[in-house]
A = this chain, B = another copy of it.
Amino acid sequence: MSEDQLVIAGREFGSRLIMGTGGSGNLSVLERALVASGTEMTTVAMRRMDADGGTGVLELLRRLNIQLLPNTAGCRSAAEAVLTARLAREALGTDWVKLEVVADEDTLLPDPHELLDAAETLVAEGFSVLPYTNDDPVLARRLQDAGCVAVMPLGSPIGTGLGIRNPHNIELIVARASVPVILDAGIGTASDAALAMELGCDAVLLATAVTRAHQPERMAAAMRAAVEGGRLARRAGRIPRRFWAHASSPAREC
């Protein structure tokens, strides 16, 4: 679909599925899943280097030539997130960041105030900020107005697999978006991903729906196909919903 590129911050992506690296216990399983997903960008977290020397995920991603999107997972304040973003830029040589500032461990939902605060700071420092946000159309708009290069509303809380709990909010966000909308978090299965695209999202970001599936590589292929299918359906223009039936064969004469 070269005529249907996703463009974020001026960079073109052929794939509208962004698969994160979280939740995989095994690098070779992760590698097969990443390849099957067709993702061109993936998330990594920043953590203390162990004396034993890291996880090897960076080598893997360099080999697969997948763009890094460091996140600020686990940060609970704007200050923590900003420092983490700066360290990621220093360590990985990218000014793209998936901005996460969560309010508590039970819901892992974003703290609206800290998130917006961090976004404004990082935009001012020249970062390309992709914020993980809730599905509040107002906060999504504030983040967009703050200069974020995309907004990434959740479908449901991280790791719940509950899919898109509130399609109406996603439609409201899409209706007023001037930057790409990436459905992030909550995807449980392929139809959730297809629905996200049909609602008008520009891409889908997921990790554990694939990495914690019984067969990660196969689920990655499923998500890839579903995102493509949902995108195509959005562009193709679905038939209207009707209350009464409508025949698909000509009337019978005899």
Chain B residue numbers with a CB within 8 Å of A113 are 112-113, 116, 142
A111: interface (CB < 8 Å): yes
Known: A219-B232, A225-B225, A225-B226. A74 touches B212 (CB 8 A): no
Question: Bound complex: CA of A236 vs CA of B208, how far in Å?
Answer: 13
Question: Bound complex: CA of A107 vs CA of B228, how far in Å?
Answer: 31
Whether the Cβ atoms of B233 and A189 lie closer than 8 Å is yes
Question: Bound complex: CA of A248 vs CA of B71, how far in Å?
Answer: 11
Chain B residue numbers with a CB within 8 Å of A103 are 138, 141
Known: A195-B191, A229-B224, A236-B215. A138 touches B112 (CB 8 A): yes
The residue from B48, B74, B171, B231 contacting A249, defined by CB atoms under 8 A apart: B74
Number of copies: 4
Known: A225-B232, A248-B207, A250-B45. A241 touches B138 (CB 8 A): no
The residue from B108, B215, B242, B254 contacting A159, defined by CB atoms under 8 A apart: B242
Whether the Cβ atoms of A238 and B213 lie closer than 8 Å is yes
Interface residues of A in 194-223 (CB under 8 A from B): 194-195, 197-198, 207-209, 211-216, 218-219, 221-223
User: Which residues of chain A have a CB within 8 Å of any CB of chain B?
Assistant: 20, 22-23, 45, 47-48, 71, 73-75, 103-113, 116, 134-139, 141-142, 156-162, 165-166, 168-169, 171-172, 176, 188-195, 197-198, 207-209, 211-216, 218-219, 221-233, 235-254
Question: Bound complex: CA of A166 vs CA of B228, how far in Å?
Answer: 26
Chain B residue numbers with a CB within 8 Å of A223 are 229, 233
Question: Bound complex: CA of A231 vs CA of B47, how far in Å?
Answer: 37
Whether the Cβ atoms of A158 and B246 lie closer than 8 Å is yes
Whether the Cβ atoms of A245 and B168 lie closer than 8 Å is no
Q: Quick one: closest B residue to A154, CB to CB?
A: B245
Chain B residue numbers with a CB within 8 Å of A207 are 248
Question: Bound complex: CA of A194 vs CA of B230, how far in Å?
Answer: 10
Given contacts A74-B251, A191-B195, 13 further A-B pairs with CB under 8 A are: A113-B116, A156-B168, A159-B242, A160-B242, A160-B243, A162-B241, A190-B232, A194-B226, A208-B246, A219-B237, A225-B225, A225-B228, A225-B232
